[in-house]
Amino acid sequence: MATKLWGGRFAEKTAKEVDEFNASISFDYKLWPYDIEGSLAHVKMLARQKIISQKDSSSIQKGLKSIAQDIAQGRFEWKTDQEDVHLNIEAELIDRIGPVGGKLHTARSRNDQVALDARLYCRSQAKIILKELNNFQRVLVQLAEENIEVILPGYTHLQRAQPILLAHHLLAYVEMAARDSERICDALKRIEILPLGAGALAGTTFPIDRHFVAKELGFSRVSNNSLDSVSDRDFMIELLSACALILTHLSRLSEELILWSSFEFFFVALPDNFCTGSSMMPQKKNPDIPELIRGKTGRVFGNLMGLLTVMKGLPLAYNKDMQEDKEGLFDSVETTQTCLRIMTLMLQKTKFRAEVMKKATQEGFVLATDLADYLVTKGIPFRDAHHIVGQAVLYCQTKNKTLEDLSLEELQKMSKAIEQDVFSWLNIENAVNRRKSFGGTAKSEVKKQISQIKKRL
Ligand code: ARG
């Protein structure tokens, strides 16, 4: 079928350049499973409401299913002059089953159709993202359990701050991923609303049953306002925004893995088969994978900003600008899924260098807060204790010592309150395990967190 389905009003054929510029089939073909799913539900409803005959509905359903089969098997030719996925499928249907195929589009517009397809797409992709987020969390928890004894310096301002459990550090990313999952679930609540039945913008003169279609498609709600139904892309922006935050978290983790795998830190060994070499420098093992995740984050942010910008000036209802929603959506969703998957795979084989981490806790005065806390237990106000320990650090630096190296006599010169029991406070393991406050880094707390997370996952 060469002519346009909407061609009646036109005296001239569309210019070739216009066909190419206007067409979205090169990317929106990805919506085909959802387009067919939506059409099947729609045409069932049309027959149920006696808008078309049962016989016509059956032959349309059969035709749609045979098209779906051919597309799935790569036997379908998408045509640019049929513009988009919707028209390609409808034109093919009419080609296959004859003029009765033209009844499919009764009481429907491409405007509500594309809104439905996009929602069905977002729903199925959001569910994949949830699964990937779950796998990601599982690996982090597994690593936390395997490395429950490992201690490293925690950082603020990228300066050594206080000793923490590696497990605690890893579980911080589990918390981020858990919030990411909540955000996706929340977006799903507003994705699963049926727009079909809005028609082009005003509803339809036919006695349709939108609630039946919603039920067929597993949507919990039906949209309230036909204009809003075809104009709304909030649901997509919410999903893109959730993706942007997921990538933010993956990017921060990537940054840490990149830093930690440097010779300067040497905390972590990324698996060989997730790294690449240099064409010139034989010694190089480069962390390309986390770098790429960090880099792709920019694109995912850009897609969010792109769609917000597309939408911000549009009058109601549908405008062709909105065709620009898809490439960014597909890109963000696919990038998010791939990045989650590859990060999870890489983490599974990542080795942490416990000895190097431990050594790093022995320099940098990470027990300074503990010494101050100790003084507080001896009745010294925290502010004074802070000052005393600050002086002790200064002293150590002139002597090239750490706080743990100081003798009782040296310590007592700083404060008479200090006694022999100070040495149990100047101990890395004890420092970690004393931080038993809810959500703290003590092993007892972290173990509790692990078991709670495992229950939740
Ligand atoms: N390809 C179009 C899109 O993605 C489908 C809707 C077209 N509607 C229209 N009135 N031209 O937005």
- Condensed to tens digits (0 to 9), the pLDDT of residues 362-393 reads 999 999 999 999 999 999 999 999 999 999 99
Using CA atoms of 137, 140, 145, 149 in order, give the dihedral in degrees to the nearest 10: -150
The beta-strand segments (E) located in 166-309 are: 193-194, 221-222, 268-269
Structure tokens that stand for 340 in this block = 């989650």
- Condensed to tens digits (0 to 9), the pLDDT of residues 395-435 reads 999 999 999 999 999 999 999 999 999 999 999 999 999 99
Catalytic-residue membership of 278: yes
323 ligand 1 Cβ < 6 A: yes
> Cα angle vertex 25, ends 24, 30, to 5°?
110
Distance, in Å, from the CA atom of 166 to the CA atom of 366, rounded to the nearest integer, reads 15
Active-site annotation holder among 26, 53, 58, 278: 278
b/e per residue 97-107 (b: at least 16 CB within 10 A): beebbbbbbeb
Residue from 35, 3, 32, 31 nearest 19 by CA: 3
Radius of gyration of the chain (CA): 31
Distance, in Å, from the CA atom of 349 to the CA atom of 91, rounded to the nearest integer, reads 50
In the reported structure, the alpha carbon of residue 52 is separated from the centroid of ligand 1 by a whole-number distance in angstroms of: 25
The beta-strand segments (E) located in 195-250 are: 221-222
Catalytic-residue membership of 332: no
In the reported structure, the alpha carbon of residue 318 is separated from the centroid of ligand 1 by a whole-number distance in angstroms of: 8
88 ligand 1 Cβ < 6 A: no
Residue from 184, 200, 58, 64 nearest 122 by CA: 184
| Per-residue pLDDT tens listing for the chain (457 residues) | 457 889 889 999 989 999 999 999 999 999 999 999 999 999 999 999 999 999 999 999 999 999 999 999 999 999 999 999 999 999 999 999 999 999 999 999 999 999 999 999 999 999 999 999 999 999 999 999 999 999 999 999 999 999 999 999 999 999 999 999 999 999 999 999 999 999 999 999 999 999 999 999 999 999 999 999 999 999 999 999 999 999 999 999 999 999 999 999 999 999 989 888 888 888 888 999 999 999 999 999 999 999 999 999 999 999 999 999 999 999 999 999 999 999 999 999 999 999 999 999 999 999 999 999 999 999 999 999 999 999 999 999 999 999 999 999 999 999 999 999 999 999 999 999 999 999 999 999 999 999 999 999 9
CA 114 to chain centre: 24
